[in-house]
Amino acid sequence: MRKKVIVDVRDLFLDVSVNLGFIKKGSLIERIFRFLESKALQKADAVTLVTPKIRHQLVEEYGINPAKCYVVPNGVDLETFKCDKSKRKLQMVYAGYFGHAQDFDTFLKGYALLRENERVPLILAGGGETLEDVLKNVEKLGISKWIKYVGMLSRKDVVKLLCSSSIGVAPIKVDESLKYAIPSKIYEYLACGLPFIGVGVGEIEKIAEESRAGCVGKTPEEVAECIMKLLNSNLEKLKVRALRYVTRFSRESSAKKFLIVLNSLRGET
C-alpha cells in the first residue's frame, strides 16, 4: 500500500530567489526547480503551509487542489520565550538573521530621520551574509551612537535581551514574492510582550493589524512614523495585547493543527 505523503512548505525560496535576482527568471535552473516543485505538490496527499498567502500562491501557480492545503502557522515556545517581572529598558531590539530578504536599509534610513532627542537605543544581535553591510550603513548614516551590535547570542541570552527591551524590529523587503512572509521572530517578540515595528507588505501587515501590537512601514518616512507611534503609545497596554494575541500561535496549538492533518489522512476524525 502506498504511503501517504505530506509536503510541508515553510518558505517560497524559488520565488524569492528569482525576484531578488539570485536565479534568472526563465532560466534552465528555474524551470527544473519549478518542475520538481510542481510534481511534489501534485503528488502530495496533503500540503501544509505557514500562511494563507502561500496557499493562494501555490494554488495559483501550480493548480493544486486547495482542499488538500492546510494552514499550520509557525509557532513559538511560550515557556521558553517568557519574561519575568524584570524591568525593561526603553530600547528597540533585533535578534535574528541578517540576510538579503531583510530590509535594514529602509529601517535604518527611517531611524536616521528621527531627531536626536527622539531616538532610543537599538540593539542588534545575530549573524548573516549582510551583517557587515548593515553595520557599515549604520556608520554611513551617522547613527552609530545609538546602535549597538552584541554578536551571536545563545537562545537563553536572546530571551534575556528581549525581556529587557521595549520594542522589537522585523524588517522584510517590500517585494511581491515576500508578501507571504511572517518572520518567526515576530512571534518571539510578542511572546515576550514586545510590540514590533516592521518593514514589508502582506502578511506582516495583517499580523500587525490583528494583534494591534505592531506598526509596519514601506518607506523610511513610514518607518519613522511607526517608531514615533509606538514610542508615544502606552507600552504596557501594547504588551498586554501582544501576550493575549500570541497564545494562538503556541507550539502546542500548531502541533494540534498538524495532528488534525495526520488524522485526516489516516481516515480518523
pTM above 0.85, yes or no: yes
Q: Is a pLDDT exceeding 70 seen at residue 173?
A: yes
Both 134 and 221 in one domain: the answer is yes
> Mean pLDDT across the chain, nearest whole number?
93
82 belongs to a structural domain: no
| 15-25 mean pLDDT | 87
| 114-143 mean pLDDT | 96
Both 60 and 111 in one domain: the answer is no
171 belongs to a structural domain: yes
Per-residue model confidence as pLDDT tens digits over 32-64: 999 999 999 999 999 999 998 899 989 998 999
87 belongs to a structural domain: no
Q: Which residue has the higher pLDDT, 74 or 218?
A: 218
Q: Which residue from 238, 198, 202, 206 is spatially nearest to 222, judged by alpha carbons?
A: 198
135 belongs to a structural domain: yes
144 belongs to a structural domain: yes
Both 148 and 173 in one domain: the answer is yes
Check residue 201 and give its pLDDT: 95
Check residue 268 and give its pLDDT: 54
Check residue 1 and give its pLDDT: 66
User: How far is Cα 163 from Cα 87, in angstroms, rounded to an integer?
Assistant: 8
Both 60 and 15 in one domain: the answer is yes
Give the rounded percent of residues in the chain with a pLDDT score beyond 70: 99
Q: List the single range of 40-44, 85-89, 177-181 with lowest mean pLDDT.
A: 85-89
Domain count, the chain: 2
What residue numbers bound the domain in which 172 lies?
92-248
Q: Is a pLDDT exceeding 60 seen at residue 239?
A: yes
Both 150 and 238 in one domain: the answer is yes
Both 38 and 120 in one domain: the answer is no
CATH classification at residue 46: 3.40.50.2000
Q: In this structure, are strands 46-49 and 69-71 parallel, antiparallel, or unpaired?
A: parallel
Both 25 and 157 in one domain: the answer is no
28 contact partners, CB below 8 Å, separation of at least 6: none
Residue 212 — very low, low, confident or very high, per pLDDT cuts 50/70/90? very high
Residue 269 — very low, low, confident or very high, per pLDDT cuts 50/70/90? very low
59 belongs to a structural domain: yes
> Phi first, then psi: what are they for 162, rounded to 5°?
-60, -40
